[in-house]
Structure 1
């Protein structure tokens, strides 16, 4: 008997180990993710239901997958989504609603003569139903290479709208690129909006690979999971060995029916509520909840809290109770016991203790015999804790203010504050540059409230605000700044603050107390020229005379910057979005974020290509040599935009018409100018004048910069043209009346046969005679 008493504890311990082992074995057996009798793996890749490889093993045809075995038996099999129009293979399926596909990398390769030697494109991918979309947060559209352009076109499942974006890369050598950065040098990335169910990728190399073929013979374009691709300079040469990269796809449950043998995705339930009403199609099984994702059409299922498993299966493979006590994932406090219940657990305090027994609650408190002593202890501890909290809060506030002051001083010095003060001191009291504090600008913009944003572009965000003296201002917050160029930045602030021209948005000052410097400009209330040209509600208000005046004022600004400013300034980003209009439609040139100062002893400067696609000087893009003639080309594009009211780049137009400048030159070559002009400004009295303006734009768009006129010459010609356009107006009495047109053109002169000119070819001496008559 005594021997049994000695052995009994050991027997009990062995039994407990056996019971635990049995539970562990049972739990390990309960790892089925597929339906009973169905394949749950393709090689090493799990296949969870609702996906399956055979009839009866998948929820519906949306989730049918194929396990393809290669001819070479040493290679692992590939898991392919049925009826997806791509060559992607699945590497992972998540029951949270994502799967990962290995997708082809598109590439185009060239020799040193810029001849295409290899064109490996698999640009089109169509997901087999609206329930499958490209994950917009996990993926990025990426282009790798030098002198490469690629475009991404997607189809939105929510409104069937087409989405288009593009990326352009430049670099002269592998040393130009920055490892880990895809900002345009060797690598460019663009985000993808939610709900894209189809992808079409196109590539172009407009500038050739003749100078980069040794270190970058190919250009690449692909959609890739962000975490799976980190760019480095080595990619310029070794990516030719990469054929596929991972991309994340969102999926959801979308029921379908066959109507006359045709799959109809929208004839049945697309929401949780509608799916529940049709029990035969509802995919969420026991102990689950249903939710509708925002990124795709349909719904998903998840296990309720306290349950785990596959929410799309019934029984032991579905959502079953989690034994939190056994798995040690409970929140029971010390001196309490854990008791598992279905879907949750309970915590009970031991005898002699009271409370809820939970770590996230009051826990278990010992019941003391001396209640008064207990309450005194609690009161003392509370008072002490309160004092500690007050002291901690005070110290936190003090340290936070101190840290803020230190950071403001650091930013001020890092952003060249001392250099700016020295520059201001050397210029005496005549300067008008103001150094604002970050506190002033936070008050002016309500702490940079998103509702105060009035514009966003490639270089930064612009906020609307009111200073303490009630001045209305626009505050520009740049996105990035090169710390090695602080001296140049300070010099630009000094120069621009002293530029005195009525058609330039006045720089009032700057703030250097934030990580990114802020610039403060005067506020122009009537919006941008782009909005007035391309908004059908306002374009009719832009008469020919008003358009010519805006062009003249803009040309005058550029002439001033090139010829009068010291040192000369190249704007580098002239476009209709950077020309503001006041209430009198007076032009105000803005956004000098890309501008460069020209040293007195240089006619051109080498710089990284920056600007807006469509306005960019092709010679500048080829050579990276920036000259004043680069602004002339951009102005020429702007002049064409004013004449035609057409967008500079539009993928909604036919391919030969997408680039407005090229299309305009081809129209002039065919002598069919009237076909492209805005009908609001064309009438029989001004066609000769329009032809003169068009020819001026043509000269500005010459491929070689040396063949283009200077901005001073352009301004003089526009001034003469504007005077000519006003010759038909005289005053009669208190009102201004329209005279009989001075340029009388017979209606038959406007017809044309074949390639004949649509404009009259009369002697300009008659026009000058009429101008003199009008002057008298």
Structure 2
């Protein structure tokens, strides 16, 4: 970067930066300024690790004591997190990579289980385990889950192989190795590991751990099982943010911490032309030093020097593209002559206005060209060409699917304005939009794509699902109108349902019109009817499994008619497939425990989730709620326990108890109990559930249900055809500490 010592030149530089244009001024002395990373007088490097502000080495070098770094024998340590070793501080992604001890289990027993405690970050600690930059890995033979305060949030299982070792990262798909992602940012975690014996009788070592995505291959190749890198995201509080002066601009980011909670952090961002320096310092934005010579040559010829970030398919910066626009501005090689600007006011004003006009026009043209190329790249990557080919080959099957342009949806949603947000979930944000033809629609904009989703898009699975789902026509299913493929993650466009979600109607205390028992049974019947329709494959010839049935994905229209929405995780299954293996997907509290263990998804997994929805309607409690003793528990486990103790009606919602007869309520409880059976084969189909609910809705209590009352009230244990007490455990899966009786 060139040194500018004239106030007029400084003013011009600020004006160009407002349009994100890079302008270098050539003076008599061309000297480059080293990029700044820390506060003045503070140590930058500890060994070969750079420690940028807001972190710091020494007194008054960091933004707060949480960000202090100790440099001991050229190795940096972070006292705020148990003195773990610091490997890297990333300002762009707001993460710090640290080295933690790796714990593994190794015994010569057929089946063993152990609990492995991870790092526990204090409540006031500003660090979180990053959901995006880490993955949960299980190596060896067995199963493992990762838990947040005793609640399972992720897990995977491996199968034993008598030959060979763990494969490469790309083949870590279940044979002695499996991996999955965290559903949200964690403050603390623990792991449960169950090992299995290899064929042949020799004991096997098993390990379960979090590991940084970019470091996993390096760890496995090194063979060092002592330490393993993990990425922590750091959060800046309001007090800390007030001490920081960004050299460019600052933004607020929202971080999902699970169960509908989130936290907010401040973040400084680089200008478009900067890739060195530190945006958290007022003078930390530095230009590429190697660009001085080419920019100087451009300016000498009267051109405008510009740099633009070029992104790869994963939205990471791959290079900086240099361009020199002709007629950008005159050479400024004589600064002392320019000091007469105060005298030549009118002339200089015209020159500045002309220069700004050309700069802005160039910026608009280049920006539009870059955006157009990016839209085309996303369109091809997301399967747009496949959709066009299918439309040409079979217009009748794709005619119902409409392709929307990004500009069309931006106009419909006021550029995805916050005022248009209908709801925010784990998979993205839904906006209300008004199309040019007057239709009101809901536009789902998913969050940042992860690697597994990216592979899915590359394989064109997304296009196949959109084509199938667009053919689903049912009064209790939200109609999918089309999609936009010109963005990083495709946007889904569906019909707008006006009366909000079933979750809000049940759990918001301020609701003026609580749901009556009759309405709750009606809604349950309509949801069951829609799921039965999807499972049967009517209209599509291929069964569709929703995989995320929950009250927040059930919408109500003005007449309180239920409509199932959000098919972002749906999967269509051809009739010749007996089972499929997928990464565990769903929402904690609704997940089928059998699916969590086997990762084999089938229609009975949707039945389990519906059972939780039915219990939610009957009790008015959330799927994970806090008991009177302050403990968090799963609603399904609480309901099963009440059924076994014969006091289930006592946990029902007061309005449900006041409006229903005992026989009617026990019939609904028995139906929910059958849906929540631990073994999927013992659960009814959604069509059977629909018929039972329709019978209860029209004639209240079928006679065959009355025979089961004694069981519900605790007078008999063998009347109902439901799982035994051992199978109806209040935990979503068998404890690893209990001996197994199965082989």
TM-score (norm 1): 0.58
| 1:220 and 2:209 correspond | yes
**CA–CA distance in 1 between the matches of 2:649 and 2:371?**
62
After superposition, residues 188-587 of structure 1 pair within 5 angstroms as 188-189=181-182, 201-205=189-193, 217-220=206-209, 230-232=215-217, 234=219, 240-242=225-227, 363-365=335-337, 394=361, 396-425=363-392, 426-428=394-396, 431-478=399-446, 479=449, 480-482=453-455, 486-538=459-511, 541-563=514-536, 564-565=538-539, 566-587=541-562
Q: Which residue of 2 aligns with 1:770?
A: none
Partner SS for 1:364: helix
Alpha-carbon shift at residue 602 of structure 1 (Å): 2.2
**CA–CA distance in 2 between the matches of 1:590 and 1:99?**
35
After superposition, residues 175-186 of structure 1 pair within 5 angstroms as 186=179
After superposition, residues 545-694 of structure 1 pair within 5 angstroms as 545-563=518-536, 564-565=538-539, 566-650=541-625, 658-683=633-658, 686-694=661-669
Quick one: higher RCO (CA 8 Å, sep 6+), 1 or 2? Answer: 2
**Is the contact made by 1:497 and 1:507 (CA closer than 8 Å) also made in structure 2?**
yes
Q: 137, 154, 171: which one pairs with 1:168?
A: 154
Q: Deviations over 1:441-470 (max 9, x none)?
A: 110011122332222333332111111122
**Is the contact made by 1:572 and 1:596 (CA closer than 8 Å) also made in structure 2?**
yes
**CA–CA distance in 2 between the matches of 1:452 and 1:446?**
8
**Is the contact made by 1:166 and 1:190 (CA closer than 8 Å) also made in structure 2?**
no
Partner SS for 1:475: strand
Q: Deviations over 1:630-681 (max 9, x none)?
A: 2111111211121112222246676997122222222212222123222220
Alpha-carbon shift at residue 694 of structure 1 (Å): 1.2
Alpha-carbon shift at residue 754 of structure 1 (Å): 10
**CA–CA distance in 2 between the matches of 1:685 and 1:113?**
54
**CA–CA distance in 1 between the matches of 2:203 and 2:168?**
15
Unmatched segments (≥5 aa) in structure 1: 1-30, 35-40, 52-60, 69-75, 154-163, 194-198, 255-269, 274-293, 297-358, 728-741, 762-776
After superposition, residues 689-704 of structure 1 pair within 5 angstroms as 689-704=664-679
**Is the contact made by 1:107 and 1:218 (CA closer than 8 Å) also made in structure 2?**
yes
After superposing the two structures, state which structure 1 stretch, 691-700 or 237-246, moved more. 237-246
| 1:88 and 2:83 correspond | yes
**CA–CA distance in 2 between the matches of 1:249 and 1:614?**
28
Q: Deviations over 1:679-738 (max 9, x none)?
A: 2201385111111111111111222222211111110010000112499xxxxxxxxxxx
**Pairs aligned (count):** 552
Q: Deviations over 1:303-324 (max 9, x none)?
A: xxxxxxxxxxxxxxxxxxxxxx
Q: 1:454 to 1:110 in 2, by over 3 A?
A: farther
RMSD: 5.7
Q: 1:710 to 1:408 in 2, by over 3 A?
A: same
Q: 1:457 to 1:63 in 2, by over 3 A?
A: closer
**Is the contact made by 1:143 and 1:167 (CA closer than 8 Å) also made in structure 2?**
no
**CA–CA distance in 2 between the matches of 1:577 and 1:246?**
31
Q: Which residue of 2 aligns with 1:307?
A: none
State the structure with more CA Rg. Answer: 1
Partner SS for 2:460: helix
**CA–CA distance in 2 between the matches of 1:476 and 1:507?**
11
Partner SS for 2:559: coil
**Is the contact made by 1:140 and 1:191 (CA closer than 8 Å) also made in structure 2?**
no
Alpha-carbon shift at residue 434 of structure 1 (Å): 1.8
Q: Deviations over 1:7-42 (max 9, x none)?
A: xxxxxxxxxxxxxxxxxxxxxxxx9999xxxxxx9x
**CA–CA distance in 1 between the matches of 2:66 and 2:597?**
49
Unmatched segments (≥5 aa) in structure 2: 1-39, 160-165, 244-251, 254-262, 264-330, 721-743
| 1:145 and 2:130 correspond | no
Alpha-carbon shift at residue 617 of structure 1 (Å): 2.0
**Is the contact made by 2:146 and 2:192 (CA closer than 8 Å) also made in structure 1?**
yes
**CA–CA distance in 2 between the matches of 1:121 and 1:140?**
20
